[in-house]
Amino acid sequence: MDTQPRLIASIADLRSNLCAARKAGKRIGLVPTMGALHEGHLSLVRQSQAQCDVTVVSIYVNPSQFGPREDLAKYPRTLKSDVEALAEQCADIVFVPSDNEMYPAGYGTWVEPGSVAQPLEGQCRSGHFRGVATVVLKLFEIVRPDAAYFGQKDFQQALVIRSMVRDLNMPVEIVVCPIVREPDGLALSSRNRYLSPAARRRALVLWSSLQQAEMLVAQGERSAEKIVAKMRDTILTAADARIDYIALVDPETLKPVLDLTGRTLAALAVTIENTRLIDNCLLEPPK
Ligand code: AMP
């Protein structure tokens, strides 16, 4: 049975709505999103529902995490269908602040994330994690959740948030949920809708290259250089693929790994037909 979630745009209203729940000792879960919701987002909502008494889903396309040449203006905004999907999941509250509510005139405080924000996405998208960390910290202050839910799809983002929470002693549990994929392996993303049907097929090279890395590791290959070279060949079978990075890194520090002796993150960012896609998987060399 669907239950309409409460749609709240103001910080003051959200706080007063959560006040009674908090006083009653209820566990509050937060799922931060930029909307254009898909099964990946909804899996986070379900996880929050399973572990919390009240689930707040924020939908906010945060301008401060987009670079000047990125897709802020054309980012999909589908509030009506998002709210319908959240009603099906019985989410309690949907927080939809305006830019003015989040960044009123005179706004000037920013979170400078630490070293895990530097490589990979940090290198390609200058200022991205400063914007992400700032908006997430603001959402944590506004909602004061007991737990917050993020996807492994944005592995580095989850790491940046984890280190912010640790460094700033924030009393919130960070839960990272597995990547939800289409049946053919493409990781769900709000940006997939930009892809033409042919580009959508070419985009499968991301998943193929990650599977190839898994297979090479299972066969005993331990050289990061060799694994990355094979992944690159696979990606480049898509004629228009532009690779930002293919990286094998330590999943805690994101420092490059040369020989795979333990758990290693394989992460990539590739543009297909003007749409930048990211994906990753954890490689577990058998002991
Ligand atoms: P976004 O709306 O893209 O900012 O994503 C909001 C949250 O959903 C982030 O924590 C993402 O990591 C997560 N997410 C996005 N795509 C997926 C996916 N395919 N599987 C699981 N989580 C996802």
Q: With cut-offs at 50, 70 and 90, classify the pLDDT of residue 259.
A: very high
Told to judge if 38 belongs to the known catalytic residues of this protein, a careful annotator would answer no
Q: With cut-offs at 50, 70 and 90, classify the pLDDT of residue 287.
A: confident
Among protein residues, the one with the nearest Cα to ligand 1's atom 19 is 188
Residues of the chain with pLDDT > 90, as a percent, come to 98
Task: Residue 209: name the closest of 239, 186, 179, 176 by CA.
Answer: 186
Q: Which of 8, 28, 32, 41 is catalytic?
A: 41
- DSSP letters for 189-238: -GGGGGS-HHHHHHTHHHHHHHHHHHHHHHTT--BHHHHHHHHHHHHTTS
What value does the mean pLDDT of the chain take? 97
For the CA of 41, the closest atom of ligand 1 is 8
Q: Give me the half-sphere count of Cα atoms (radius 13 Å) on the Cβ side of residue 148.
A: 23
pTM of the model: 0.98
Among protein residues, the one with the nearest Cα to ligand 1's atom 12 is 151
Q: Is 266 exposed, middle or buried (0-12, 13-18, 19+ CB in 10 A)?
A: buried
Report the distance separating Cα 86 and Cα 90, nearest Å. 6
User: Is pLDDT of 1 > 90?
Assistant: no
State the first-to-last Cα distance of the chain, in angstroms, to the nearest integer: 48
How many angstroms is it from 22 CA to the middle of ligand 1?
Answer: 27
pLDDT digits (tens, 9 = 90+) for 124-147: 999 999 999 999 999 999 999 999
pLDDT digits (tens, 9 = 90+) for 156-185: 999 999 999 999 999 999 999 999 999 999
User: Is pLDDT of 67 > 90?
Assistant: yes
User: Is pLDDT of 249 > 90?
Assistant: yes
User: Is pLDDT of 274 > 90?
Assistant: yes
Q: Is the four-CA dihedral 198, 204, 209, 215 of positive or negative sign?
A: negative
User: Is pLDDT of 231 > 80?
Assistant: yes
How many angstroms is it from 213 CA to the middle of ligand 1?
Answer: 23
How many angstroms is it from 241 CA to the middle of ligand 1?
Answer: 23
Token pair recorded at residue 136: 């997430």
Pocket of ligand 1 (CB under 6 A): 33-34, 40-41, 43-44, 150-151, 153-154, 177, 179-180, 187-190
User: For the chain, what's the residue count?
Assistant: 287
The confidence score (pLDDT) of residue 141 equals 98
